[in-house]
Amino acid sequence: MELIKKSSLCECVKAKKENLNAIYLAGGTEALRLNSPVKGDSVIPISSLIEKKIEAKGDDIFISSTVTFSELLASSIVPKPLKEACKYLSSRALKNAATIGGNIASLRFDSYLIPTLLAYDAKLVVFSSEEKVCSLKKYVEKGSCSCLIVGILINPLVKVVNKRESLTSSTHAAVTSALSENGYFCAVSNSGIFFSLEQAMSSDIKSDITGSSEYKKYLIKENYEILKEALNG
């Protein structure tokens, strides 16, 4: 693996465009881990280029993309449901390295954070040739992007409930779900990230080691009911 070290975000984005197999590197828990779906032949480090911040911005909270799961858990202003989602990553050593931006950018179908952030209707501050704001939903729908996630904006007042179904604390999840006034969102192993119950139930849900298609569909639906009760309760 090659190291492509740049001194500005602009150069990083340019380098990424020039090196299609390059990946941005922040915490390294996806980019460097064996068996990760995130693969590249070179890495572009970004940690030192993005100042770590968790701060109120109007009604929203701004979280730098390089903030780690541990830092989210330690913050006094990060809402509890997002902290709960951070706990889905059980390993303390990985929590100390994994970043919120990395978890979004890897777009894993067993993502710890994406369903919860979707339920917050999170916005991403991204950098391409310039900084701009886009919705997380659009980013996920698009599927891949050479732009660089700089930060995440969420409205902490949105009531969010979430749930993860995995065999053990450390195995990959079969289904990770979140529900809020913004809708029901779920990441389903080997199948996709979905933006509604209907979309998930009508999709091709694949069987894998986390469970059969039938089981996952059952969970998608049952979790929706469970979360609905929790949201209303």
Partner 1 sequence: MVSFTLNGKKVSSTLDVMTPLRDVLYSMGLNSVRDSDDREGFAGSDCIIFNDEVRASNLIPLFMAEGAEIFTAESLIKDRKINDVQRAMVAAGVVQSAYNSPTVALILTHLLAHKSDATREDVKDALSSVFIRDAGYEHFYLAVKLVQEERATGSYQTPVSPSFRPNLDVIGKPTGKIDGDSLVRGEKVFVEDKVMPGAYALEVLRSPYAMAYVKDIDTSEAESLEGVEAIVTWKNVPDVYYMSAGQGNPEPSPHDRKLINRKVRHVGDRVAAIVAKDRETCEKAMSLIKVTYEPLPAIFTVEEAMADNAPLVHNGKIEYVVGAPSDLDEQNKSYDERDGKVIYQFPLHGDIRHNIAAGAHGGIGSLEEGFKEADAIVEETYQTSQVQCTPLEPHVCYSLIENGRLTVHASTQVPWHLRRIVATVCGLSENKVHIIKERVGGGYGSKQDILVEDLCAYCTYITGKPIYYRNSRKEEFIANSTRHPMRLTVKMGGKKDGTITAIYMDVRANTGPYGNHCLTVPMNASSKTLPLFAVKNMFYDLNTYYTNIAPTGAYQGYGAPKGYFAIMSALAQLSWKLGLDPLEVAKKNVVEEGYMLEILKGLGEGREGAIVPVGSCGVKQALEEGAKMIKWGEKESSSDPDWAIGKGFAMIQQGSGLPGLDHSNCQVKLLTDGTFLVLSGGADIGTGLDTISAKIVAEQTKISLDKIAVISGDTDSCLFDTGAYASSGTYFSASATLKATEDLVKKMIKEASFQMGEDESDLILRSPGEVYSTKSGKTLSYAKLSHDTLSGTGHGQLVGTGYFVTPNNAIPYGAHFAQVAVNKRTGEVKVMKFYALQDAGTPINPEIALCQMYGAAMKSIGHTLYEGMVLDKDGVCVNANLTDYGTPMIGEAPEDFKAVLIDVNDQYGPYGAKSISEIATNGAAPAIAMAIADATGAWVRSWPITPEKILKAMGKL
Greatest CA separation for the chain: 52
For residue 136, the minimal CB distance to partner 1 (Å) is 25
Of the pair 69, 127, the CB lying nearest partner 1 is at 69
For residue 14, the minimal CB distance to partner 1 (Å) is 20
Record the tokens describing residue 116, joined without a space: 């919860």
Of the pair 5, 57, the CB lying nearest partner 1 is at 5
Cα–Cα distances in angstroms (integers) from residue 203 to residues 54, 173, 209, 221, in the given order: 36, 18, 19, 13
Of the pair 157, 230, the CB lying nearest partner 1 is at 230
Query: DSSP state, 183?
Result: E
Residues 89/98, Cβ–Cβ less than 8 Å: yes
Of the pair 2, 141, the CB lying nearest partner 1 is at 2
For residue 98, the minimal CB distance to partner 1 (Å) is 9
On the CB side of 82, CA atoms within 13 Å amount to 30
First to last CA, the chain: 50
For residue 86, the minimal CB distance to partner 1 (Å) is 12
For residue 63, the minimal CB distance to partner 1 (Å) is 19
Q: Could you list the residues that contact partner 1 (CB under 8 A)?
A: 1-3, 5, 28-29, 32-35, 43, 45, 47, 70, 90-94, 96-97, 165, 167-172, 208-209, 211-212, 214-215, 218-219, 222-223, 225-226
Q: Which residues, other chains included, contact 130 with Cβ-Cβ below 8 Å and sequence gap of 6+? A: none
Of the pair 153, 191, the CB lying nearest partner 1 is at 191
Query: DSSP state, 195?
Result: S
Look up tokens 């990230």; give the residue: 193
